[in-house]
Structure formats: C-alpha cells, structure tokens
Amino acid sequence: MKVWIDGQLVDEADAKVSVFDHGLLYGDGVFEGIRMYHNRVFKLREHIERLFWSAKAILLEIPMSPEDLIRACVETCRANGLRDGYIRLLVTRGKGTLGLDPRRCPKPSVIVIASTIQLYPEQYYREGLTIVTVPTTRNLVNSVNPAIKSLNYLNNILARIEANNAGVEEAIMLNSDGFVAECTGDNVFIVQKGRLFTPPQSAGALYGITRNTVLDCARELGIVVAEPNMTRYDVYIADEMFLTGTAAEMVPVVKVDGRVIGSGKPGPVTARLLEAFHERTKTDGEVIFA
C-alpha cells in the first residue's frame, strides 16, 4: 500500500509521524473519511470543505489548497489501484513539544490513506441492526463541538465500548438535554407515517456528508423531511429507522433498547432512499482513472 504523507507517496512501512506530533499526543488535528465508488471519489469537494471548516474551528492552518488536497486524494487512489474503497484524510497539528501550546507546532502534517473497508457484515444491510442507548453523553457544543471532526474521538470510543459490552454493533448517544444526538459513528434517521426525521446539528449531530445526501435524495423523491429534537420515545414508535455514515453508507435498524422498530424488518422508505443513494454514487465525484 502507498500512503501520501506531506507531499510524497511512500510505502506503508515508511509512512511515519513523529512521536512528538500533537495529533498523537493530544488528538490535535482533523480528519475526513471519504468513499470511492465506481471509479469516483464520492462528494470529495464537500469532504474537503468540511475539513477546512473543522480546521478553522481549531485554528489549524492546512498547508495545502483545496485543489491540492483533491489531487492528493485522487493520486493516492491511483497509486493503490483503487476504484472502490475508502480514504482517510488527516491533518495533524504536527511535531511540537510535550506542552499543550499549539504554537509550538510550526508545520502541520497532511496524510492520505486509501484502502478498502466494510464497516458492517452484509447480513446487517439485509436484516437490520439491533442497537442500544448508552450512558455516555455526546460532547457539549461549547466544549469539543461535535461539528468539529477532530482526531479526538474518545467520546465516541467510550460509547462504542458500551455498545460492545451490550453485544451490539452501534449505540445511540444522547445530548445533555436527553435528546438523540447521533450514534458512535453514524447519523440517525427515523421514518414516521412516510415522513423522514433526523436530529439537528444543534442536538450534537455531525454535519454528515452522507446524511445531507440522503436528505437531498428524500426531497427529490417527494418525501417530507424535518430536523426536530428527538427523544428515545420518538425512536421507539418509528415505522422505520436507519443510520448513515461514510463508512456505514445506509444501514437499517430493526430493534432499539429491546423495542422492535416497525415491522422488525427494513422498511420501504429506507429501500427507496438506499436505491436513490446508490444511483448518486455512480455519477457524483472526482474521476480516479480517466
């Protein structure tokens, strides 16, 4: 595997960062997970835009232009012969001192990894997930704002540990007010009487690229969409439920906290949206091999 790191494509074994990099020491940096489909890097420009938003929020100056980052992602896919797969794009604060002060890090580091991924077994896409709500509360918007896609994912990891202990693949995280925020790595959607609902960003939901794509697909299909605050009660009485994320794509949920969702099987609205999403992946994105 070839990894793009600070302007060079190197073998995986030679792709190294300093032990003094603040991304390693403190989780000080930002990242994007990006998918490749059908010889295209899906929604690449949207991902790059979100990366720059996250960097701006933590006063991290990315040492490359958006167009240069786009080229780096595509070149890394080509170097690994990938037409379908997954990209992890990272910008760390760079090498510094053992102190917290980011001013001690003169040069941020940019890394692009291109590989393959399958987040869930195929069975879950056909039959749906069983998930639970966990005690770990989503980060407050005035602390580590969930809108920032930072390298510090400990909040999500703690929730994922609770999901593992419960024997499930995902978990709902609530915010400090008790409203549904998101899952450990995915956005939450429910369908009620043909209408589509997902928590707002203000509740602690990530500004998801796949989330936004599904909302666009829903509007094109004439499905009414809304972003209200949602409680677990709203989830329990939903007709359908699914999760979205770059790695997860769209995966149905059929049971939450022991409550069967709808019929207990992936529903028709979910199926329509999944078909529309897959159609978009065929034509949207930067071409890898001309």
Q: How far apart, in whole angstroms, are the C-alpha atoms of residue 89 and residue 258?
A: 37
pLDDT of residue 251: 97
Chain-centroid distance, C-alpha 148: 11
pLDDT at 167: 97
Q: What confidence score (pLDDT) does residue 117 get? A: 87
| Half-sphere exposure of residue 196: CA atoms within 13 angstroms, side-chain side | 24
Q: What is the CA radius of gyration of the chain?
A: 19
* pTM: predicted TM-score of the whole model, two decimal places: 0.96
- Nearest CA among 124, 119, 169, 120 for reference residue 265: 124
Burial class (CB in 10 A: 0-12, 13-18, 19+), 164: exposed
Pick the catalytic residue from 56, 149, 193, 265. Answer: 149
Please state, in angstroms and rounded to a whole number, the distance separating the CA atoms of residues 48 and 287.
Answer: 16
Token reading at 95: 């090498």
Question: In the chain, what's the furthest Cα-to-Cα distance?
Answer: 56
Where do the domains of the chain lie, and which CATH numbers do they carry?
2-115 (3.30.470.10), 122-281 (3.20.10.10)
- What is d(CA 79, CA 81) in angstroms, rounded to the nearest whole number? 6
Instruction: Please indicate whether residue 149 is annotated as part of the active site.
Output: yes
Do the Cβ atoms of 242 and 270 come closer than 8 Å?
Answer: yes
CA distance 225 to 238: 14
Q: Tell me, what's the pLDDT at 192?
A: 98
The pLDDT assigned to 119 comes to: 80
The pLDDT of residue 19 is 98
DSSP structure class, residue 95: B
203, 165 Cβ separation under 8 angstroms: no
For residue 284, the one-letter residue type is D
Q: How many CB atoms lie within 10 A of CB 195?
A: 14
Contact 208, 201 (CB under 8 A): no
pLDDT by 10s per residue, the chain, length 290: 999 999 999 999 999 999 999 999 999 999 999 999 999 999 999 999 999 999 999 999 999 999 999 999 999 999 999 999 999 999 999 999 999 999 999 999 999 999 998 888 899 999 999 999 999 999 998 899 999 999 999 999 999 999 999 999 999 999 999 999 999 999 999 999 999 999 999 999 999 999 999 999 999 999 999 999 999 999 999 999 999 999 999 999 999 999 999 999 999 999 999 999 999 999 999 999 99
Q: To the nearest 10°, the Cα dihedral for 139, 142, 144, 148? A: 100
Question: Token digits for 40?
Answer: 């295209």
| Pairing between β-strand 249-256 and β-strand 129-133 as defined by DSSP bridges | parallel
* 90 in Cβ contact with 110 (< 8 Å): yes
Q: Amino acid letter at 52?
A: F
The Cα 236–Cα 21 span in angstroms is: 44
What is the rounded CA–CA span in Å between residue 194 and residue 144?
35
Which pLDDT score, from 0 to 100, does residue 171 have?
A: 98
Which residue in the block uniquely carries the two structure tokens 């509360």? 137
What pLDDT score was predicted for residue 118? 82
